[in-house]
Amino acid sequence: MDQIKCECGHANPVGTMLCESCGRPLELEIKGEASFPDMRYEGMARRSQTYSRTIIDRIWNYFSSVKVAIGIIVIILVASAIGTVFPQQQYIPVPVPTEPDVARFYTETYGKLGTIYYTLGFHNMYSSWWYVTLLVALGTSLVICSLDRVIPLYKALSKPRVNQHKSFLKGQKFYGEAELPAETDSAALVEAASAALRKKGYRIFQNDQAMMAEKGRFSRWGPYINHIGLIIFLLGVLLRNVPGFYLDEFVWVREGQTIAIPDTPYYVKNVQYHTEYWKEEEMAQELDLKGGAVVKSYQTDAILYLNKNADLPGANPDLVEIKSGPIIVNHPMEHEGLALYQTGVQEMQLGALNFVLVDKKAGNKEIGPIKLDLYNVPAEQQVADGVKVRVLDYFPDFVMGKDGKPATQTNLPKNPMFALEVVSEADNASEKLVYLSGSIITEKDDSRYTLEIKMPDLIDISGLMVRKDKAVPLIYFGSFIFMIGVAMGFFWQHRRIWLQFHGTRVMLAGHTNKNWYGLKQEAGAMIEQAKLPIAIEDKSKA
Amino acid sequence: MQLVQLSDWLLDIAFVLYVLASIVFVVAMTGKNWAGRDPKQHELKYGRIAYWLALIGFIAQTGYVIFRWIAGGHSPTSNMFEFMAFLDYCIILAYLIIYRIYKLTVIGAFVLPLGVIMLAYSYVFPKEITPLIPALQSYWLHIHVTTAALGEGILAVGFAAGLMYLVRTVPQEAATKSTRWLEIVLAVVMMLVGFIGMESTFSRLDHKTVFELPKEQLNFQGEMEKMKVEYTLPAIVAPEGSKIIQAGPMTPLFTAPSWMEGKDAARKLNTMIWSVISGLVLYGGLRLILRKRLGAAMQPAVKDIDPELIDEISYRAISIGYPVFTLGALIFAMIWAEEAWGRFWGWDPKEVWALIVWLFYSAYLHLRLSRGWIGAKSAWMSVIGFVIILITLVVVNLVIAGLHSYAGV
Ligand code: HEM
């Protein structure tokens, strides 16, 4: 193994900039402060600074460079900003069912720029392969740069050197030296200086000719801890792509309905839905709402069931109630990581049609009520003694097909059409009727029966989002670690002060990674208390 | 009702005190060399007065926050007016903290005028306490928005110190790229002032121009009616295809380009044009009076301040603001988003811009820590960083509509 020998006799690994033993700068002449080695790892060798032979070395060096990291960060920043110029596809305010609709939306709304935006794929910026690649590159860089630096840093921090080489001290931004009167007791001065700094919370390492005071060493780990937090965070984000870690479903449930939640063994029932508005007396100030109202809450009272037969294919569901209660915006219903969110509503939708059967031949006598539940159509119902109504045909969303036959567009009862048969058991006769768009069409002109239309039942349909995200705890954990790291790094600072006697000369130097002001204040107070005759020269190198 | 009144008064008092504090701070810095004065004594004396004015203003604003919170039943951070006033509160708070550490009078001379501008800006928006819509009814509203605002407030102090650094160090003997950019930054500040001045003057004058758009919209009575747009400022730009139904003080000179979408696009463009014009007029006027670059005019007031110390203050503010911002604007935001929408991140424009601010300051920190970007480079970064925050607050809230846009202005 190659080694570099220092004047003091210590053998250092290749790449070392400051001797591990005495702190003298290796392999370079100290000309001015500008060429003094970086203090960050006390000049310890780093892999990336040492090898560059193989491809692996090159990749390693590339990703461990902070310059490259900043480049990646800036590219992500710019790309993210471009992604907000026009709305992303998911936020387009009008329905765009097909790809050509999407293209047309951007062209028609934003003109030429919109076309370019769409063509370049910026309308799906954040899930594009290259954006994801950038995030992965950032993650790689984080891992490699941390590995590259963590051991040198450990070495640097675990071996505090009391006796630094003169040139090390002179190289510091914060430095001063002075001639002492011949009879000065250096041990006593060291003692006085130590005492002053100890009071400020410094740890003291000393012998009778030299002292090093240090505090906040742990804060140097801040960057590594915060980067580990980021790595955990990014891992969490990637994990969501693993099947089973992330579930995202949406169900419409009408009042009274119980439906299965796709991809889960659960069922949900919408017991009741309602929207509440702020009342005037609840408001702090009178507002001119121009006839509108402010919504106070959207709420679905729901019951969550578990299907015990979920694992048995073909078996009828066996539902047990697990949880019941309200689902409100900001207050999802949660059960074992599954959460149901109040996200949408269709209010006052047709639920059932109501009629009264009328006998025209008996002087428009009302025979009895008929209810046609649009979601659960009864095949036959008894209207009165001896009179039945049968449903022959039902089209929830009626259209006349191209072939001249009636058809339905969707399964939703937007435009219900019924063909009914009234059967009178007494005289064994029957008559057909059709209901469509608020009117009744009878089979014959002089028919005996007709229907009188009553208020339909209106129901609310809740839109519930169902989410499960097992990666979330990991993501929070990563964020938490990041915050700890950043707080360590920024709210504490690593400060060191060296005091050395060389014959009749005394030298004082200080180093900190941040907050020079604080260091100067503390060193200044120490100089005063220990009555050191040193004037600090303020080298503006920073 | 009385509480609301009281809180409004307290805010007005705070505003007046901040204006006074700004003036006294400027006197403290510029009056040092007036005849027959000991510069140190002068700065100390006036600096102390200004500091106390700011502190009392801050206490008044604390009262505003508390009373409005009680009156509204929620933290005063739920619409644009409340948020801007709260951000201002955080800027002053951050100033008081940084001042306690460094005891430098000049910090106030830069931060308090910024505080005045931000508070004046908040007055442009409707001040009513509106009841919370369901999406905002969460204690995370308080936690997330207040922490994010505090982070932004501290970063704003980093900006003020960065600007101070540039004013102190950019050589003014000859025109250079640096002097030009510094003048541009100052001119942009003037535009913000111009905007506030125009907006508050014209909203009192009631010289509205009303346009009718060719598009229709459902009104609250459930009928279709033509969309209308109201301009407070005189109209330079008319919406495309519109008809004036109430004439204002000016006939529009041209119509907005057709690619500008949205009902209010033309009005926003109109406001932007007025801000630029009034800012340039203010800037030009000042230059005519001073007969030199604004940077050159300000420099003597700060010439005896150690630039390295200002550099460190700017960095310190950013390194304190960065964690707070991360916590408030990203982490708490993610937790809330998870609770409200079932996803911790959805690439909503507002979220993306918080990420951009964060990425930018991350780049700043790496450049500074590992690439030795200190002094002027670092100061420019701190200025750009705050510009990005302003874009996030102003442009994104008002122009790019998203889930977060609670600003109906
Ligand atoms: C978005 C991604 C990143 C964020 C948010 C971030 C955040 C930070 C922060 C806040 C600091 C300062 C910590 C302190 O001084 O206490 C820091 C320092 C640092 N970061 Fe990053 N970082 C990111 C990515 C990277 C990458 C990819 C690299 C790899 C080259 C890197 C290398 C460094 C280095 C070398 C330091 C200085 C450490 C020291 O002063 O000892 N960072 N980072």
Task: Determine, for residues B342 and A332 on separate chains, whether the beta-carbon distance falls below 8 Å.
Answer: yes
- Residues A342, A440: one domain? no
In a domain, A231, yes or no: no
Task: Determine, for residues B366 and A70 on separate chains, whether the beta-carbon distance falls below 8 Å.
Answer: yes
Radius of gyration over alpha carbons of chain B, in Å? 22
- Contact of B88 with B80, CB cutoff 8 Å: no
Structure tokens of B331? 């982490």
Task: Determine, for residues A69 and B366 on separate chains, whether the beta-carbon distance falls below 8 Å.
Answer: yes
Radius of gyration over alpha carbons of chain A, in Å? 40
What's the pLDDT at A442? 80
Burial class (CB in 10 A: 0-12, 13-18, 19+), A511: buried
- Residues A429, A339: one domain? no
Between CA B33 and CA B49 the distance in angstroms is 18
Does A156 sit in the ligand 1 pocket, CB within 6 Å? no
Task: Determine, for residues A73 and B134 on separate chains, whether the beta-carbon distance falls below 8 Å.
Answer: no
Residues of chain B scoring pLDDT < 70: 1, 35, 216-223, 257-264, 396-409
What's the pLDDT at B175? 83
Give me the residue from A113, A287, A516 closest to B130, CB to CB. A287
Cα A402 to Cα A395, A408, A437, B310, distances in angstroms: 16, 12, 19, 79
Quote the pTM value. 0.84
Identify the closest residue of chain A to B307 by CA–CA distance.
A540
The alpha carbon dihedral of A26, A29, A33, A35 has a sign of negative
Residue with tokens 């500091």: B51
In a domain, A25, yes or no: no
Task: Determine, for residues A81 and B71 on separate chains, whether the beta-carbon distance falls below 8 Å.
Answer: no
- Residues A340, A251: one domain? yes
CA angle B58, B59, B64 (to 5 degrees): 90
Between CA B46 and CA B23 the distance in angstroms is 10
Residue with tokens 């991350």: B362
- Residues A431, A341: one domain? no
What number of other Cβ atoms are within 10 A of residue A1's Cβ? 5
Task: Determine, for residues B259 and A465 on separate chains, whether the beta-carbon distance falls below 8 Å.
Answer: no
What's the pLDDT at A540? 47
Does A61 sit in the ligand 1 pocket, CB within 6 Å? no
- Residues A327, A466: one domain? yes
What's the pLDDT at B408? 36
- Residues A317, A391: one domain? no
Distance A140 CA to ligand 1 centre (A): 13
What's the pLDDT at B203? 77
Distance A227 CA to ligand 1 centre (A): 7
Among residues A431, A457, A483, the one where a domain terminates is A457
What's the pLDDT at B35? 65
Does B363 sit in the ligand 1 pocket, CB within 6 Å? no
Give me the residue from A284, A290, A517 closest to B71, CB to CB. A284
Between CA B201 and CA B196 the distance in angstroms is 8
Q: What is the CATH number of the domain that holds A177?
A: 3.30.310.50
What's the pLDDT at A542? 38
To the nearest whole angstrom, how far is the Cα of B129 from the nearest Cα of chain A?
6
Q: Which helix (H) or strand (E) holds A519?
A: helix A516-530
- Residues A175, A253: one domain? no
> What's the mean per-residue pLDDT of chain B?
84
Give me the residue from B135, B338, B349 closest to A472, CB to CB. B338
In a domain, A7, yes or no: no
In a domain, A24, yes or no: no
Q: Which alpha helices (H) appear in B258-370, and where do they start and end?
A: 265-290, 294-302, 307-325, 332-341, 349-370
Burial class (CB in 10 A: 0-12, 13-18, 19+), A388: middle
Contacts of B59 (CB under 8 A, 6+ apart): none
In a domain, A39, yes or no: no
pLDDT digits over B153-203, tens only? 999 999 999 999 998 988 888 888 889 999 998 998 888 888 888 888 887
* Local structure of residue A22 (DSSP, 8 states): T
- Contact of A260 with A267, CB cutoff 8 Å: yes
Task: Determine, for residues B134 and A514 on separate chains, whether the beta-carbon distance falls below 8 Å.
Answer: no
Question: In chain A, how many domains are there?
Answer: 4
Domain that holds residue A415: 352-457
pLDDT digits over A149-164, tens only? 888 888 777 777 777 7
- Contact of A432 with A197, CB cutoff 8 Å: no
- Taking contacts as CB-CB distances below 8 angstroms, the residues of chain A near B327 are 483
Among residues A156, A173, A190, the one where a domain terminates is A156
Among residues A104, A133, A156, the one where a domain terminates is A156
Cα A520 to Cα A176, A510, A515, A516, A537, distances in angstroms: 12, 8, 9, 6, 11
Between CA B398 and CA B199 the distance in angstroms is 15
β-strands B237-238, B254-255: how paired?
parallel
Listed residue (B327, B326, B328, B330) closest to B351, CA to CA = B330
Side chain identity, residue A352: A
In a domain, A12, yes or no: no
Provide the strand spans (E) within A137-265. 174-179, 203-206, 210-215, 246-254, 258-260
Listed residue (B97, B80, B195) closest to B149, CA to CA = B80
What are the residue boundaries of the structural domains of chain B, listed by start? 1-172+293-399, 189-292
- Residues A467, A327: one domain? yes
A452-482 burial code (b ≥16 CB/10 A, e <16): eeeebbebbbbbbbbbbbebbebbbebbebb
- Taking contacts as CB-CB distances below 8 angstroms, the residues of chain A near B130 are 283, 287, 294
* Local structure of residue A65 (DSSP, 8 states): -
- Taking contacts as CB-CB distances below 8 angstroms, the residues of chain B near A487 are 323
Residues of chain A scoring pLDDT < 70: 1-3, 5, 7-9, 14-15, 21-23, 26-45, 47-52, 208, 288-292, 536-542
**Closest protein CA for atom 18 of ligand 1:** A223
Does A200 sit in the ligand 1 pocket, CB within 6 Å? no
3-class SS string, A86-98: CCCHHHCCCCCCC
Structure tokens of B66? 């508390």
Listed residue (B240, B168, B238) closest to B210, CA to CA = B238
Between CA A324 and CA B75 the distance in angstroms is 31
What's the pLDDT at B143? 92
What number of other Cβ atoms are within 10 A of residue B224's Cβ? 8
Q: Using CA atoms of B159, B160, B166, B169 in order, give the dihedral in degrees to the nearest 10.
A: -130
Length of chain A: 542
Side chain identity, residue B54: A
Give me the residue from B4, B370, B400 closest to A84, CB to CB. B400
